[in-house]
Structure 1
């Protein structure tokens, strides 16, 4: 009996060892379970999802964070284009625009290059140029096309009261925005060019402002078109103010432009006679260069025709002031324009033709006696256009 018990124990131990060895062969090691941290490859273009969209009438519009002007512009387009259209047999809207939250930087470009439902995006021109030159996502020259240049995006550098100038930021914690955003990529570059060494933080706008109010962050950068509604609602809490960013043609070369933040832009932060000098970058509306045989090409063609035809409606007071900087016919050197946009401009002999024709009809409706000055008359015309969108 003892011999039988001894043999049973040996058999159990042997079976346990076999099970352990089997599990060791099937389970990955700790190093296998952890994702590899190899640098991203730069020679291959990200693959675009080309399957049929769940909604073939919806254009995916990648913008910035919900607090930024780029998202407000996307919402302007979505709201305007949804109105005044005929619907389908089941009540569906013929053309819809779906704003998609991005980071205003590299993610916007990557989303358009990869996601089936992402067709267009607002992105800084200098950033897209850098991605193309460095081949970060491979050769994207034929994958992206521009619909139109848009407006400039200003650098907004908020600082705590003890920070009087850029030199005071040396060694301090400064938030440049989410990783890959225009603020993170270009803000880092600008501060390095200016010789300001900081401790970088990469938080969203809300978290950055909260960190400044608590004293955890000394300054925060936001790159977006002025006025940014998120900042316009911000008061001079705890002495938070804008820091000037000096413009130097030799230092900035052709990548950046001089700009100014004024009391009219941020009355709760900037005094009446205390403008703040800063720098800015150009932005543009880019599209995925769908092949003509793809259903998304036809959808984008309808999007361009509708947007360009109704462009004068965006110039009224109800929409963001940045619309008044847009010239649809302007060129973007080094890039090809999306083919339907180029055809529309050629047919219309310039993006301003429809606006001038509408302005002439407006003048005919005004009394001839004691006309106001042209600027005031033009503003009245824009308000008239909003009340009479079909004329």
Structure 2
């Protein structure tokens, strides 16, 4: 395939107009990202580097099967792949690590029976592939839509046998920051826009969202600080971030002094399949949004995924201990010292099309009424009406939209 043809396929995939080819090309892109090779180029030999900066000799891709997964040497530490350090997802993993570290009995040298080690990732598809292949990565917070696309692409075979979910988490909102001269998405056509780190969820999904808005941009991949600096200098017209609101670095931004503001992302029909409507409000970003005003945007659902270790293995038992601690101490995450996104989490919520980690399922079956949710109004339903997976997903999306409207009242 020529470079021009590959570029055409990439544009078709990103715009969502390539039909069946969309999944096929997604599979090739993911394989290239994971194995460090350019599409169409021979694979490179020798070690490569992954989250945490450690050398990681990756297994060859055998018939597009799942890469081999070795056991971590640290039997008491659970590796948790998350987003960049500025992201809400990283903050929430730090919350987990801090809470679960407290209240544990330690050994004679201060060692703990369970440690949670945050591992900096991009927040995109790579987070999932790290869990599938990297020895030290047991879990990841990842967008559901990217996990589903990776599953459907079957780049690594049927990953449902290798990947389970522990809990459905919170929504992650798109934050489209623009300079003063940008008045609508159409004004971004031909302009330079940062989509975050290369391979991040914002990079992958941001192109899709902006294309749905009719904005053919000149995309660049910059970290948050570099993107904001480029906007202040007039070198970049906009920056698109994807993470749960509120993002702490944006709370420290003197946006009004710089003329930087949020631009609305309308919930168009083209986005309704994979995205949810959401709103950024004054209460979220008082330094960017005026009192009484709000900005429409779209969001995606995130989940806590884990590697499906063999039952009764050391890693399985470690994740079982982690799950029991997380679920039984869930109320501790609802305090003011932790990120407000914890209030969106309902541990009992199901993720259609995926298998839940069995110890998590057993804990929920035994839970007291209301213990598994931040909102006691959702309660414990022992005998719910049976619905199909498609209906369950639709009802859940309707619930999220209802909750968004309630928060705006």
Name the TM tier (shorter chain): 0.7 to 0.9
**Within 2, Cα distance between the matches of 1:166 and 1:42?**
43
**Within 2, Cα distance between the matches of 1:124 and 1:232?**
23
Aligned length: 322
Would the alpha carbon gap of residues 66 and 353 (structure 1) be closer, same or farther in structure 2, given more than 3 Å must change?
closer
Give 2:40's match in structure 1, choosing from 28, 38, 42: 38
Would the alpha carbon gap of residues 37 and 325 (structure 1) be closer, same or farther in structure 2, given more than 3 Å must change?
closer
- What is the match of residue 382 of structure 2? none
- What is the match of residue 153 of structure 1? 172
Give 2:220's match in structure 1, choosing from 180, 198, 201: 201
- Contact kept? 1:345, 1:351, Cα under 8 Å: no
Would the alpha carbon gap of residues 298 and 276 (structure 1) be closer, same or farther in structure 2, given more than 3 Å must change?
same
Give 1:292's match in structure 2, choosing from 311, 328, 332: 311
The superposition leaves residues 204-253 of structure 1 with CA deviations (integer Å, 9 ceiling, x where unpaired) of: 111111111111110000000000001111111420110000002x2212
- Contact kept? 1:157, 1:242, Cα under 8 Å: yes
- What is the match of residue 245 of structure 1? 265
Q: Taking structure 2 as the reference length, what is the TM-score of the superposition?
A: 0.75
Secondary structure of 2:242's aligned partner: strand
- What is the match of residue 225 of structure 1? 244
Q: Quote how far apart the aligned CAs of 1:317 are.
A: 1.0
Q: Quote how far apart the aligned CAs of 1:281 are.
A: 0.5
Does residue 1:129 correspond to 2:148, yes or no? yes
Residue range with higher mean Cα deviation, 36-45 or 74-83:
36-45
Secondary structure of 1:141's aligned partner: helix
Give 2:209's match in structure 1, choosing from 190, 199, 202: 190
Q: Quote how far apart the aligned CAs of 1:318 are.
A: 1.0
- What is the match of residue 99 of structure 1? 118
Does residue 1:311 correspond to 2:330, yes or no? yes
Q: Quote how far apart the aligned CAs of 1:52 are.
A: 4.2
**Within 1, Cα distance between the matches of 2:329 and 2:247?**
24
**Within 2, Cα distance between the matches of 1:297 and 1:170?**
49
Alignment of 1:1-391 (within 5 A): 38=40, 43-53=63-73, 55-236=74-255, 237-248=257-268, 250-349=269-368, 352=371
Measured on the aligned residues, the alpha-carbon RMSD in Å equals 2.1
Would the alpha carbon gap of residues 354 and 86 (structure 1) be closer, same or farther in structure 2, given more than 3 Å must change?
farther
The superposition leaves residues 56-95 of structure 1 with CA deviations (integer Å, 9 ceiling, x where unpaired) of: 1111111100000000000000000000001123320121
Secondary structure of 2:108's aligned partner: coil
Secondary structure of 1:340's aligned partner: helix
- Contact kept? 1:329, 1:351, Cα under 8 Å: no
Would the alpha carbon gap of residues 102 and 350 (structure 1) be closer, same or farther in structure 2, given more than 3 Å must change?
farther
Greater gyration radius: 1
Would the alpha carbon gap of residues 353 and 135 (structure 1) be closer, same or farther in structure 2, given more than 3 Å must change?
closer
Would the alpha carbon gap of residues 135 and 43 (structure 1) be closer, same or farther in structure 2, given more than 3 Å must change?
farther
Q: Which runs of 5+ in 2 are unaligned?
A: 1-36, 44-60, 377-409
The superposition leaves residues 282-329 of structure 1 with CA deviations (integer Å, 9 ceiling, x where unpaired) of: 000000001114211110000000000000010111110000000000
Would the alpha carbon gap of residues 211 and 120 (structure 1) be closer, same or farther in structure 2, given more than 3 Å must change?
same
Displacement over 3 Å in runs of 4+ = 39-43, 353-357
Residue range with higher mean Cα deviation, 315-324 or 187-196:
187-196
Q: Taking structure 1 as the reference length, what is the TM-score of the superposition?
A: 0.78
Residue range with higher mean Cα deviation, 210-219 or 35-44:
35-44
Q: Quote how far apart the aligned CAs of 1:351 are.
A: 5.9
Q: Which runs of 5+ in 1 are unaligned?
A: 1-34, 358-391
